[in-house]
Amino acid sequence: MSFAYSNSRQFLNNSEKPDSTTIRRTIIEHGVRPVENDNKTQSGQSATDVAMKTITKQHQDEQRELQELNNKLSTYIDHVQRLENRNADLSAVVEDLKRKWGGDAAQLHALYGPDLKTLREAIDDSQYGHISQELKLKRFEYDINQAKQLIAAFDGIKVYDLNGLQQELNMSIQELENITDRFNRQLELLDQQRTNLANFHNELDNLQNELMTHQLESITVESELQTLKELIAFEDALYQAQREELLSITTPLLDVSNFYRNELTRAILDIRQDFDVLQQSQAIELEEYYRMKIEHLQQEVAEDNERKRLLNMTNETVDKSLQTSSWKDLDNIYQQLKIDNHQLQGNLDALSDDLAKIQEEHIREREILDRELNQLRDELSIKQETIDNMLGNNISLRFELSTYRRLLNSEEQRLNRLDQQQQQQQQLTNSSVLTSSSLSSTLIPSSSSRPPPPPPSPSSSSSRLPPSSSSPPPPQLSSRPPPPSSRPPPPPPPSSSSPPPLSSSSSRLPPSSSSSSPPPPPPPPSSRPPPPPPSSSSPPPSSSSSSPPPPPPSSSSSIRPNQHNPVRRESNLTVQKMAIKKASQGPIIFDSVDFANDCVIIIYDRYAGNEESLGNWIIRHENDQQAPQIYQFPSSFVLRPRQTVRIVSKLGSQSIKSGNDVLIADQIDTWGQGQVVITRLIDANRIEKANITHTRVPA
């Protein structure tokens, strides 16, 4: 332990003062403590002899081990001398590489400097052009919006005027209808009055006929009454004559036959008298009845006459009202309204024609503006592609420059580390030489004290191998190969007479790093674990035997994003652009293809006009090299002006499906997206009406 501690102290002192030389001599004294024996023999002299023999034998063994250690130390010193010579050769090679590397960097700067400056200027110009094109595009969009607003305002004024004229026309038509209704009502009233007049005439005729009938009946009754009166007078005269005759007979004759005859006559007279009374009462009743009947008929005739008089007066009033000037004025107004209606209809037709012409002009102007806008968009897409290409070239050049910069930094760090390692190895060699000289001058302890053998150092314990005449493999310069982006060119193969490798504690270098930060300092020897001892049948491990270093990276391999450029690959996966190109042969166009909600949006790009039937039209969706997806519209589907329709797939967004103007494509699970997506609109005659193309452009 004391030997290892002295070596480590010399190593630390030499590392702190690389230009100083320290000679340190260490004398180690060891004492021997006699072991007490519990079973003491009775003879003390025999025990002393046995102890002396044992000590002498141990001392001889220690001398033999010390001789072996001295032989190994001399071999180690020769090995260190050979390593110093090898390090001097490597230093010369490194200096040569430094000079050559500086010339290559200057050549790179001289070769790529003007091109980089030109590319930077081109990037600035393209950026300025891109910004100017964006400003022009915004100005064109503003002009288009202004034109749309003017068109909408003009359409609103025209619609307002048309609505006013339509209201006036409706009012005139309504007033004309009211006048016509009044005229029709007057005609109906006149017809009704004429019908009533005819009915009254018929009723009057019937009443006159009835009056004649009643007059005839009354005359008949009067004649019968006169007859009855005459009969009554005759019967009365007959009665008086018979009564006088009966009164003139003074002496009654008692003749039975006369008696019965007289009694019979008297009974007949009584019956006649009763009959006369009855006849008189009946005659009075008949006279009263016929008198009342005649009065009623006279009253009815008077009422009929009064009704006829009133009817005649009403007819005269109606005739006078029909012959007045108000009816003529009403007829004139009706004729004038007909003329005004005809004129308004002509004005409305002229306004409709003007409106159709203005709409056609607006549509033509809009198509011209759309063509200009499409041209500007095409130019903008071309310039955008140019800018993207320039940006891609710029990124590639920047990546190459960063790669060369990392290579230069890593090579410079490697050379600095090699210089530090050479200085450390030189200091270690000096300390080893001093240690060997100090050990050779160390005195052997006396026979009374037996010093224990010194423990081997970490270098000797880890590489305790007998020296051999065969040439070992080249020295191990690194524990792992550097990464591909910063791996330097491999050193030239060593000659067959190269020395054996150093131990892990003295010759292991820290691994090279591609970062610009300096490498961490090596841990102290006390905290560094010793490596396992290698087997005698296999050579020590080296980086050249396990994984040979690849060739130095070139410009062609450094710009590949999928091999040695993870940053570039990540940018390709995250930063992507979509180039959209639209074309149409009519007013029905594609608005967009919404990949987020998985739907296709079409719009009828007209402000006015008739509805367009899309029955049996189809949408053909082509995604890269996959089979095309086809959706057919319903046979009764129509599209109104300025109507927007979304065709959502089966797996599309539920919020979109619940909205209006949405069609569900049940036969299509998802529209999908790829590098090149083409969507076409084909009519019933299999003529392409519109298409939209999405192309993914990597940034």
Question: Residue 597 sits in a domain of what CATH number?
Answer: 2.60.40.1260
Half-sphere exposure of 697 (CA within 13 A, CB side): 18
- CA–CA dist 486, 691 (Å, integer): 50
**Is the pLDDT at 132 greater than 70, yes or no?**
yes
Distances (CA, A) of 336 to 175, 176, 330, 332: 13, 10, 10, 6
Mean pLDDT of 459-474: 37
**Is the pLDDT at 241 greater than 50, yes or no?**
yes
Q: Residue 528 — pLDDT band, cuts 50, 70, 90?
A: very low
**Is the pLDDT at 547 greater than 90, yes or no?**
no
Distances (CA, A) of 466 to 59, 70, 463: 25, 14, 9
Single residue among 351, 382, 414 that ends a domain in this structure: 414
**Is the pLDDT at 28 greater than 70, yes or no?**
no
Average pLDDT, the chain: 73
Residue where the block lists tokens 């792992």: 480
Q: Is the pTM of this model over 0.85?
A: no
| Residue 29 falls inside a structural domain | no
Can you give the pLDDT at residue 630? 92
Can you give the pLDDT at residue 632? 92
Helix spans in 470-613 (H): 504-507, 543-546, 555-558, 566-574
Number of domains forming the structure of the chain: 2
| Residue 8 falls inside a structural domain | no
| Residue 552 falls inside a structural domain | no
Q: Residue 31 — pLDDT band, cuts 50, 70, 90?
A: low
**CB count, 10 Å around CB of 526?**
9
User: In 3-state terms, what secondary structure has residue 644?
Assistant: strand
Please enumerate in sequence order all residues whose Cβ is within 8 A of that of 435, keeping only pairs 6 or more positions apart, or say none: 3, 6, 7, 10, 24
Which amino acid appears at position 101 of this protein? Answer: W
Nearest-Å Rg of the Cα atoms of the chain is: 71
Single residue among 414, 446, 471 that ends a domain in this structure: 414
**Is the pLDDT at 469 greater than 60, yes or no?**
no
Nearest residue to 414 (alpha-carbon basis) of 519, 507, 504: 519
Cβ(363)–Cβ(606) below 8 Å = yes
| Residue 41 falls inside a structural domain | no
Cβ(144)–Cβ(373) below 8 Å = yes
Domain extent at residue 655 = 576-698
Mean pLDDT of 21-25: 55
Summarize pLDDT for 622-638 with one digit per residue, the tens. Answer: 988 788 899 999 988 99
Single residue among 368, 389, 414 that ends a domain in this structure: 414
Mean pLDDT of 384-402: 83
**Is the pLDDT at 229 greater than 70, yes or no?**
yes
Alpha-carbon dihedral sign for residues 366, 372, 375, 380? negative
Nearest residue to 126 (alpha-carbon basis) of 309, 426, 343, 390: 390
Mean pLDDT of 286-303: 83
| Residue 460 falls inside a structural domain | no
| Residue 518 falls inside a structural domain | no
Phi and psi torsions of 391, nearest 5°: -65, -40
| Residue 307 falls inside a structural domain | yes
- CA–CA dist 95, 83 (Å, integer): 18
Q: Residue 647 — pLDDT band, cuts 50, 70, 90?
A: very high
Can you give the pLDDT at residue 316? 74
Cβ(631)–Cβ(647) below 8 Å = yes
Nearest residue to 409 (alpha-carbon basis) of 313, 512, 314: 512
| Residue 475 falls inside a structural domain | no
